[in-house]
Each structure stands twice: as C-alpha cells, then as structure tokens.
Amino acid sequence: MRIAVPAETQGAETRVAVTPETVRKFIGLGAEIVVEKGAGLASGINDADYEAAGASIAKNAKDALKGAAIVLKVRRPAESEIAGLPSGALVVGIMDPYGNEAAVEALAKAKVAAFAMEFMPRITRAQVMDVLSSQANLAGYRAVIDGAAEYGRALPMMMTAAGTVPAARIFIMGVGVAGLQAIATARRLGAIVTATDVRPATKEQVESLGAKFLAVEDDEFKQAQTAGGYAKEMSKEYQAKQAELTASHIAKQDIVITTALIPGRPAPKLISKAMVESMKAGSVIIDLAVERGGNCELAKPGEIAVTPNGVKIVGHLNVPGRLAATSSQLYAKNLFAFVETLIDKSAKTLAVNWDDELVKATALTKNGAVIHPNFAPKPAPVVEGSV
C-alpha cells in the first residue's frame, strides 16, 4: 500500500500533507510513504526529516506517484498534475469544488476517487478530521497578528510616565472558528474587542471570551443557523439593518477582521466603500474571505490596499499558510485520522467502506464518474407524454 505525497504546485502553497509524525503512523499501518523531494521545505521539514521517519524521497512527482494507492494533497491537483495520477488511486485533499466543476470532472475522467476534506461532516467522530476548523483556527490567530503588525501601534492600554496609551479597538465580523480564535487572541493582546454574527448561538460564545456582542436581534436573527451549525444567508432586509448598526461602530474601530463565509457561495459583503471611508487614517481591515470575493467591497486578493483616507485593507491569500509549520502539523493529523478509517488494520490493506457516512460526505468521484450529490450530473427531466 503505497502513499504518495507530491509537492504542492497551486499558487504559493506552503503547507504539506504529511509530517514525520504522520509518516511514522502510516508506516505503522503497513503503508509505504513516498514524498517528493522538497515537498516539506516551506513548512520547515527537510527531506532528511522524512527519511529519518521512514519515508522514501522521490526526485519528482512522476516518481512519487508511480504505483500509489493513495495520494495525499493540501490543494486539489492542478490540471497539469491530474494526468499523472494513477488510475484507481484515492486522492485526498482540500478540493475546493464549488465553481471548479470542470476540475472535478477532470478528476473523474482520470478514474481516481477524489475526497474533499472540507466536506467532512461536523459530527463527534470526525472532529479530529475537521480541516476547516484546524486551518480556520490558525487563520483567526494570524489575522490578529497581521492586523497588529499593519496597525503600527500598541494594542493594550499602557500607563507610562510619558502618558497613557489607549487600548486598540478590534471588531470581529463573523464568529466561527476563525472569529472565536481572533477574539481570544485580540483579548490576550489587551485590545477592546467587539464581535458580530448572524447566528444567535454565538452571542454567548463571544461574551464568554470577554468581548461585546453586536447584532440586530430580531426574529430572523433567531432562526439564522443551519442544522450543521453554519450561518444561513440572510435576507436583504436583515443585511440592511445589520449594515446600519455596524456602520457607526466600524467608524470607531482601529482594526476590523472579517471571517464570514457561506459554503458554496460568494462571501457576503459586510463592509461597503462608505464604511471604509468613515474609518480613521491608520486603521486596518483584515479580510479572511478574500479568496471567495471578500467581505470588504474594496479588498483585493493577494494585496494590501491603502485607501485615499489612509485605511489599510489586507487581502492575504492562504492565511493558514502564513503559519505553514503549524498548519501542516494540524492538517497532516486531520488527513491521517481520515485515511486511517479507509485501511483494514489487520490485513494492512485499503478497505474503503463506501457506505460510511464520512466517505459518503467527502467522496467527489469514483469509477470515472462524479458521485457527490452536490456536483453529480442531474438526470434529464421527464417530459410528460414523451416515449
């Protein structure tokens, strides 16, 4: 049972799908691990570290993939990589299929079984496999650190002989995993923190971390959460009321961090151009949703934009990758925990249970077809009276 780990080629990806720790665990399950040369360098893992853990080093992706039963990735294989994937292999990673249906079709045509780790159900047994939470946690932390660095002033209140330094005001928009970590980090650094979210359950979480909750708490707000714990898309009327409430609040903030995402949809616009123009010079906006269009109207993917009134809008891509060593450590554990369920430990062979709820939730392709219900071709409608 050969497991291949090719180097990441998409964009400036710095994470890697295995660490020496998970290499040893995979070997304990009877696997042979082959890592492409240099795959872990951006995460601070040398080839020698992998070899010491028992992995083999391949000089290129072609050699790494040869004969692989499982291919572990951070991001979905690029178009140029798909042709090199072994037919019948399991390909596991963050597939980002929404808006990339052609890439999913290409994986199906390559006759690989592709699994999207971001579709892992939020149930108790899958918590250790939840890549969205592990990576968002670090993104929330890094957002505060980046915000503090760009702000250029101290965050906590300081009493000095030369005078008092006021505490910075930080506003977190979207209180999922990233938002909660951002609140906790900002509080630890001594800032005055407020936060908002459309889900009523988050109010208590925000207040338990010592921050103040801000939201329009009407009837729609009370129903604004899916059974899976995600935010629902709110009506235009609610969005207008929430925007009115937050507009005056944003004008007083030093740092604003936006984290709002709805699975499968463009990021909701939370900060308008007018709101940005109301902020004082030197204030900072960190947009963690910029890869999905951004929560801030003026955010630019991969750039730090400075507005005419002196507001910095930070649109870093792949924020978890800005903490590559830690992100890889957690992501690799997520991958191992899932792949372990696909292996028969006694026989030390692959044994995928296609009826397992984890497999059903994450499998995108199988036997040359797209099988996930969100992406599989819809049957043609039956026209009444046709034969």
Active site residue 127: yes
Reply yes or no on whether 355 is catalytic: no
Whether residue 133 lies in the annotated active site: yes
Q: Which of 2, 15, 76, 133 is catalytic?
A: 133
Residue 151: phi, psi to the nearest 5? Answer: -65, -40
Q: Are 65 and 56 in contact (CB under 8 A)?
A: no
Catalytic-labelled residue, pool 127, 208, 223, 235: 127
Among the options 125, 153, 230, 265, which is catalytic? 230
Q: Of 50, 75, 130, 327, which one is the catalytic site residue?
A: 130
Helix, strand or coil for residue 233?
A: coil
Q: Is the dihedral of CA 63, 39, 83, 80 positive or negative?
A: negative
Taking phi over 0 as left and psi of -120 to 50 as alpha, with beta for the rest, 35 belongs to beta
Tokens of 161: 């002989």
**CB-based contact 39:8 (threshold 8 Å):** yes
**Which string of DSSP letters, residue by residue, matches 214-265?**
----SHHHHT-B-TTSPBPPPPHHHHHHHHHHHHHHHTT-SEEEE----TTS
Q: Are 364 and 92 in contact (CB under 8 A)?
A: no
Q: Which of 10, 47, 96, 122 is catalytic?
A: 122
SS3 at position 173: strand
Active site residues: 122, 127, 130, 133, 230
